[in-house]
Amino acid sequence: MFDSSGVNLHTRIGRDSRTVVLFVHGLGGGGYETWDEMPRMLFDSVDVALFDYASGLRAWKRRGADLEAQVSRLRTALSDLQKDHTYDRIFVAAHSLGGLIAEVAIQRSLEGLQESPVTPIAAVLLFASPRAGSGWASIPAMREFVWLKRLSKRVAEIDEYYSTHIEGRATPDADLGRFFMPHYAVVASSDSFVNSFSAGVGIPAQQRLPLEGTHTSIVKADSSDYPQVQWVQRIICEVIELRSFVEKRCAQKERRLPAAVIVAELRTGFDGAPWELLYHEVRDQLSSSSVSVVDSAAYPNVPIDILVVIRSAGAILQKDHAVRDTLMRVYAERIVDQKKRLVGVCAVGEDHQKAKETLFGWLPMDAEGLFYIEGASDDDQVYTVITRWMQTAIARNSQRMRDGSRLDRILDLAPDPYSIPGRNLL
């Protein structure tokens, strides 16, 4: 049973969790019935809340649900989870129409906020939600269809707000001018109500999960082995880690800018997400009040001081053309750069020694002294290698830092006339 709030919150005695997953069902669904055993599967590790509202046949006598009222109730529920229950990581999992209701409620919660881009709403997980509407809702049989029809006014308003104000990419290099709230989508292969385009539009490809199943079966899971359950668990861990990186970047942004900046860049493969996290962690650790190690994405037109290339030993030993092409491209850039940048290439895996030999064989003889090539068996060693390379880049540029402000060079600022020797004051 649900009370007038429409929310049931489940917590474990003795567990002080800061994370909760809020489930929002779709048209005609129910707080528990829609999701089957999925909330129970997640309850071992996080708290769980379920939101219930009458819609579809449950609201047939009223010709459907008053969705604005449900948005208001859900917005209140989000506020209560933050303020009364002190959750600072709320993951919203929404099915079908519930996705539209959730996104409007989140928008209303965020409007007017001028705080950090990291809010208590951590991520949105959409299950077959019609982000571009549904052709099935073309006949206005119920009030809900006004929202659900293709390219409805409500759908357009949601898209405009989220594309402008929400950073939906799951990346540590987030746009700090937007609210950091990664969006994910499950797309059903045999969905008769929401096509694959509508379910995934606006969601990065790597943040979509295609599943065999129908519009309703993809939210049914009675075992922790189900891919959607494991997917949600992985997202929770990933987003919590990403949020900590973004929070550090926000703290750095608020601090006074240092006098010197080292520009770094990472290049890796499709499996490089864990190494990117290590790379950004090393940058943060080595940045101080006197020097800041920034990623090249922040200064796209500035020469790079250190280029870090990380690939798996397995891909190198398989003589992956993509890996070799990357290395040759880096070599060509290093020559054009007139040997100014520091380049480090790391092979990761048990066979990293053999992979290093392969890398040496790919590079021309005149590359000696231009590249550092190292191997690492695990992530701890990768962290050590990146740290050593970045410390070398800082030491290599120490004289330049003493000679003048790196920020002035980057921003191409005119020198202060009062700081130029021999300049007479007016």
d(CA 246, CA 276): 13
Place of tokens 């933050």: 82
Distance CA 97, CA 240 (A): 27
Fold agreement between 7-244 and 257-411: yes
User: In a 10 Å sphere around its CB, with 0-12 CB exposed, 13-18 middle and 19+ buried, how is residue 255 labelled?
Assistant: exposed
The residue type found at 371 is F
What region, left, alpha or beta, does residue 221 occupy, with left being phi > 0 and alpha being psi -120 to 50 degrees?
beta
Instruction: Give the 3-state secondary structure percentages of the chain, helix then strand then coil, rounded to 5.
Output: 45, 20, 35
Q: Which two tokens stand for residue 141?
A: 């049989």
β-bridge mates for residue 373, sequence order: 345
User: What are the structural domain ranges in the chain?
Assistant: 7-244, 257-411
pLDDT (0 to 100) of residue 187: 96
> In a 3-state reduction of DSSP, which class is residue 171?
coil
Contact in structure between 275 and 206 (CB atoms under 8 Å): no
List the beta bridge partners of residue 265.
Answer: 307
Could you give the CA distance from residue 371 to residue 41 in angstroms, rounded to a whole number? 49
Question: Domain spanning 7-244: which superfamily?
Answer: Alpha/Beta hydrolase fold, catalytic domain (3.40.50.1820)
What tens digit of pLDDT does each residue of 171-200 get?
Answer: 888 888 899 999 999 999 999 999 999 999
Residue 396, phi-psi category: left (phi > 0), alpha (psi -120 to 50), beta (remainder): alpha
Q: pLDDT at position 416, please?
A: 43
What DSSP letter does each residue of 357-374 carry, written as one string? HHHHHHS-GGGTTTEEEE
pLDDT tens-place string over residues 325-369: 888 888 888 777 765 788 999 999 999 999 999 988 888 877 777
On the CB side of 308, CA atoms within 13 Å amount to 31
pLDDT score of 125: 98
Distances (CA, A) of 80 to 45, 74, 109, 420: 21, 10, 12, 59
Query: What is the end-to-end Cα distance of the chain in Å, rounded?
Result: 80
pLDDT at position 411 is 43
Q: What is the CATH number of domain 257-411?
A: 3.40.50.300
Polymer length in residues for the chain: 426
pLDDT lower than 50: segments of the chain:
257, 403-426
> In terms of DSSP bridges, do strands 342-348 and 306-312 run parallel, antiparallel, or are they unpaired?
parallel
User: Which residue type sits at 309?
Assistant: V
